[in-house]
Amino acid sequence: MNTPSLSPWDETQARLRELADLDGVIGLAHWDQRVTMPPGGAGARASQLGLLSTIRHERLTHPRLVELAETLDPGDDPVKVAAIRSLRRAVRQATRTPARLVAALAEAEALTYNAWTEAKAKDDLTPFAGPLTGLIALVREKIDACRDGEADPYDVLLDAYDPGTTVASLDPMFTRLTAGLKDVLDRVKGLPQPPPLTGRWPLEPQRALHKRVSAALGYDYDRGRFDETVHPFSISVGHGDARLCAHLYEDDLLRGLTGTLHEAGHAMYEQGLPQRWRGLGIDVAASYGLHESQSRFWENVIGRSAAFCQLLARETNLTFPDAPVRPDQLFGALNRVEPSLVRIFADEVTYNLHIALRYRLERALLSGDLRVAELPSAWDDGMEATLGLRPTKLSEGALQDVHWSSGLFGYFPSYTLGNLYSAALRFTMEARLPTLWDDVARGDLSGALGFLRENIHDKGHLLDAPALVEEVTGPRDLVADLLQHLNQRVSEAYGV
């Protein structure tokens, strides 16, 4: 890029816009891989992603951008201060990661993802074990390259997803939260369970229902789309293009719908990010934990509430008039507390126990204390000790999640951080919007979305997530908030 006539700030913005465009193309390639690409394209896609990632790395580590990051003076402008902070953080990690390693990681992630899909379909670790072992070696190499005084090697990964979060803060949080969650489980142990929602719901009408419900939340289909895939996800291809990918189940209506609510929450965050800051590198989410707070807020705080069940019952009965449901029936089914093997199907109370297990296991994998070949038995033992359940097949055990196959080591804690943030946002929103739940019951979600748009989405990465959440909610005990939220839901659903 030759930009001799631009001011330093304008040149920086031009370079960052180029990086954003590359990120969009990379995102599009990942979306295509998971939604429309035939399996035979895996090798070519791995090569393409390796090249794109190398080009991006070259742009990010260009000597001129490094110079700009080091010399630009933001003054007292908070937007420029945030932009320089984010740029320096990105440049610091990129310049410590060799281009060879960037390309190797991108190719390994693409190939390992395809190996995971094969292994999961066959319920056999063999196709996955070798690629995963190789990918872990590359992740360790990246940690070694980027580490600079972090107390724990895992902190290097956390800094990429949730700046300001460390092992030193996560360990006591998980210890305290786990104890509190087990207390909630003890409250309902032996009580009659709310009945599940059973039946069969043809997929084509379901698709229409998913689209109507997600649109009711505020997901803008003029700037997004609905597709189906093996593992639900959302992805942004750039401002104005935030895509939602769901998985529908003919025999489990609520399982599919909660997944769509979750991904719509992610996508709506992307749709609300500040385009006016494009080219400053802060027109993005403040952290992955905050991103998860948006998905978990819509899936759980709103989506499992008694008020939302009134809206959901109306929409479901419109779609399936021959199998009518009642709001209280949906509320009970959505809030059953029942330990299960698969994280994405877990109830609100046990969900974070799944995360705590994965957090322990991936730290052991990265440290070398656990080999990939030992992962299934370690997983099964952990599930049995944590939830009293033991998987009988790998697709319900060590092969159930996509994250490690995509190189997302360090991401799992973001889910729990998201749950903590979402509970704090719930109680703050209730205090500021007295008619919140009446509005939700009427089908008006604009107040909730407007609150998040103003206080979270439109702030982009002006502040790191912990500071942004505290600015919105004030100082709060996040673990206490989440436990209070869960205890209230249990009391409503079980009458205790």
Question: Could you give the 3-state DSSP secondary structure of residue 246?
Answer: strand
Give Cα 21 to chain centroid, integer Å.
22
> Other C-beta atoms within 10 Å of 362: how many?
24
Region of residue 38 (left: phi > 0; alpha: psi -120 to 50; beta: else): beta
Give the 3-state secondary structure of residue 5: coil
Of these residues, 107, 263, 270, 396, which one is catalytic? 263
What one-character DSSP code corresponds to residue 398?
Answer: T
Strand runs (DSSP E) across 6-127, as ranges?
Answer: none
Exposure string for 367-386, b = 16+ CB within 10 A, e = fewer: eeebebeebbebbbebbeeb
CB within 8 A of 263, min separation 6: which ones?
Answer: 232, 233, 234, 244, 245, 246, 295
Radius of gyration (C-alpha) of the chain in whole angstroms: 22
* Token duo for residue 386: 């944590």
DSSP secondary structure string, 117-140?
A: HHHHHHT-SHHHHHHHHHHHHHHH
From the number of C-beta atoms within 10 Å of its C-beta (0-12, 13-18, 19+), residue 88 rates as middle
State both tokens at 478: 């996040």
Active site residue 384: no
Minimal CA–CA distance to 486: which of 146, 150, 245, 181?
A: 181
Closest CA relative to residue 283, chosen from 7, 1, 23: 23
Pick the closest to residue 330 from 315, 313, 318 (CA basis): 313
Assess contact for 87 and 281: CB atoms under 8 A.
yes
Closest alpha carbon to 95 in 59, 137, 52, 71: 59
Amino acid at 447: G
Catalytic residues: 263
